[in-house]
Structure 1
């Protein structure tokens, strides 16, 4: 627990008092407020033990890296850059492998290449990974054949198998989530800093599917242009080795507050608190209550923060969230992630953007075109149409173009694997194909080819602004 005595942070641990860095922030105020979407932990003593252990663990990210991301997002706020944020709907412990991490990074890098080169805009690359192990649910229980069990809330909380043992919330999973996040971040850093992300690898990233995928063939043509541009730079005396690495940041929904709180640290440079579980965390549509624990917690940490805004959000609610989460109006601090649905975005988004802009709020606007476009196929599979996703993105750009504001990015759920979870795309998947490779534990994801289809469309929309 951290409390404040004057300008000195007083940390009370096991009855002792230790004076720490200067701070004026009480980090435990969220505990006194209603916290939505939290597991019903059956063993509080075990939860307390795990939280104490997590509090001793090394940081997964560093405060300086969070500040760097904030600077990049400030450029987005000013209309000088674009955010590409994406990854799994819900990561799994079994998915924290080198192949899975590499494939997701490969897809993210390919999308970023398309947006950077074809859209002619700097791209801030943020993975929805290394911590996205928990999910909010619309119902607390699931019923199958008359049997009722707790809903699956992500591997951080319980298991996917429909058994009483698997669905029992287990605090030990918080520790495993930490270790899987550490492994994923280590792999991501190795791939992005060790040469795999070198722009001269653009062809190698594509060799495994270019011949079969229309999106891959289109990407290959762009890759050849990049090769020619790099050769020109070299011929002019430039150094293509400057393109050897990329900046990559991690993010996840700050849903399980015991986990996020245990991984909050006081930065030795500034005396300010950072959630060191990720560079950026966001508050979901189901947990953005102004008087709730999630907004309160996020208001106290200094990371870049995102907030999901669904179609019921009013301009007044948006302004209240901005005031709570970014009272100093710091550029790069707050990203508003809209998730309206293709049929609603053109009607619902304009009043929000107008009111926020008129108020002078320094925010980045990002479009989540996934969550408002989910439906159930006749087979019972939850799915999304790529055409609806593309249409919501188009509506997002149309609104911002009409209002003279900056369409700052996209936030998507995708995988680097050849799954059949969303319908449509250049290599078209129809509803009858869904059962072929439907592998998600929660929401349907775009596959690699569909992700590239989306990237090319976004690049076209960006250039047309």
Structure 2
């Protein structure tokens, strides 16, 4: 049973990592009061629906695709940017659904991912030291004292921009943009200049023929035209997340209405800390990120704390071990959690453990290392007989040059061409599609091969 949600003051007394230091407590209280008066961004019923779908992932009957920006920015909230992120996720989902023959649960790292934990509280350039950039929810990227001052009014902007993003996403996924018969149009304005593009277009042609056949046979399902799409972000800033936690009138239980799925990060997963305490009280499906330093005992204690009732779909465990450590670090964690009797959704974040800095000062990731961590994730779960339930990636629908390697063979010298991230490097569109094909190949290999959906339809209806 969920207990009454603790007050913000109680949470802060537990010790809250990665929080901004505001200059005026009265201003913070004013902003939080304003947030409490705002309507919810998502609804309890949607969160319940997602929890049921994550239970399918945990049971090995579905695959979770979660992706989006490292850190959203206010300036990036345009129709074009939102559409581009959605369509790369839709394109990846098409690859996974058809090539891997597995249902795909689509969750965006979007409409709330405006804050980032940082390894250092300050940044120094020359002889000037200022607060670190913690995302547009806290301060601005420009390196001057005014920009880097934490401003609580930015939390209201987070709400406004998240509401606008969710509004457009709902229009896209329910208003015809996600129609499978529009698959070619999703990519019409990109230059088709790579092997992964050719492979994608061949797959889309095959799906189009299959759809035409099914429609000719009298099957014209609503699922061809619309998709279910959910929002998620790290529940980092307590003032924002607490203000948007509401008591549902149907069940008299608390839901965080800032997103459908929220997670506690690697830097804020302290068992007795404020973030775990807040998330354990809400009814949303929740996630926890685990890095290579976590022990089996710690992982077991965390899942006990966050999911005391062993509720299907309640908990997603997102591992971020690093390509060179995944095969050694992951098995004891999986074994410890599985030994509790829970069936959690196991998801791989192959990005955060593989970041490095080039000689020219660019923070980047190598596609080969991202792929290696994913392969290690699949290898471990195959060896243990558990389901590799999903992937959590930082990506963009634009042709940026932030991660090296991949089908376009981006080199370190190419990073300067279009390095646009506000924080960590993201996979570009072609790299994201390439990753989707890699995952599809792993899902269709060996013991987890799935039935072709067209063959299944023919077997049932003819």
Give the drift of 1:357: 1.4
Equivalent position SS for 1:32 = helix
- Aligned counterparts of 2:68 and 2:370: Cα–Cα separation in 1: 16
- What corresponds to 2:361 in structure 1? 380
Pairing partner for 1:282 from 239, 253, 263: 263
| Contact persistence 1:203–1:223 (CA under 8 A) | yes
Q: Could you tell me how far 1:358 is from its partner in structure 2?
A: 2.2
Aligned pair 1:101/2:48, yes or no? no
Offset at residue 217 of structure 1 (A): 1.5
Matching residue of 2:4: 25
Give me the whole-angstrom Cα distance separating, in 1, the residues matched to 2:129 and 2:40.
38
Q: Distance in 2 between matches of 1:379 and 1:309?
A: 30
Measured against aligned partners, the alpha-carbon deviations of 1:415-457 in whole angstroms (never above 9, x if no partner) come to: 0111000001111211000011000010000000000000000
Secondary structure of 2:255's partner?
A: strand
**For the Cα contact (< 8 Å) 2:5–2:254, is it kept in 1?**
no
Matches within 5 A, 1:140-219: 140-209=121-190, 211-219=192-200
Tell me the residue number matched to 2:208.
227
> 1:362 and 1:235 mapped to 2: Cα distance?
41
User: Could you tell me which of 363, 367, 371 is aligned with 2:348?
Assistant: 367
Cα contact 1:214–1:427 (8 A) shared by 2 = no
Alignment of 1:117-132 (within 5 A): 117-132=98-113
Structure 2: gaps spanning 5 or more residues: 449-462
1:459 aligns with 2:440: yes
Listed one character per residue, the Cα deviations across residues 172-215 of structure 1 (whole Å, up to 9, x for unaligned) are 00000000000000010011000000000111112222522322
Q: CA deviation at 1:32?
A: 2.5
Tell me how many residue pairs correspond in the alignment.
444
Contact 1:210 1:217 in 2 (8 A): no
Q: Please name the residue that 1:450 is paired with.
A: 431
**SS of the residue aligned with 2:267?**
helix
- Residue of structure 2 equivalent to 1:292: 273
The TM-score with structure 1 as length reference comes to 0.94
Alignment match, 1:336: 317
Q: Which residue of 1 aligns with 2:418?
A: 437
Q: Deviations over 1:144-195 (max 9, x none)?
A: 0110000000000000000000000000000000000000000100110000
Secondary structure in structure 2 of the residue aligned to 1:406: coil
Distance in 1 separating the partners of 2:23 and 2:415: 36
Instruction: Extract structure 1 runs of 4+ deviating beyond 6 A.
Output: none
* 1:313 to partner: Cα distance: 0.6
The alpha-carbon deviation at position 235 of structure 1 amounts to 1.8
Give deviations 1:236-281, integer Å, cap 9, x for gaps: 1111554110000000000001100000000011000000000000
Specify the alignment match of 1:354 in structure 2. Answer: 335
Is the contact made by 2:107 and 2:232 (CA closer than 8 Å) also made in structure 1? yes
Question: What is the root-mean-square deviation in Å for CA atoms of aligned residues?
Answer: 1.1
CA distance in 2, matches of 1:442, 1:329: 36
Please give the alpha-carbon distance, in whole angstroms, between the structure 2 residues aligned to 1:247 and 1:272: 24
Q: Gapped runs of 5+ residues in structure 1?
A: 1-6, 8-22
- Distance across 2 between alignment mates of 1:321 and 1:457: 31
Deviates more, 1:23-32 or 1:263-272: 23-32
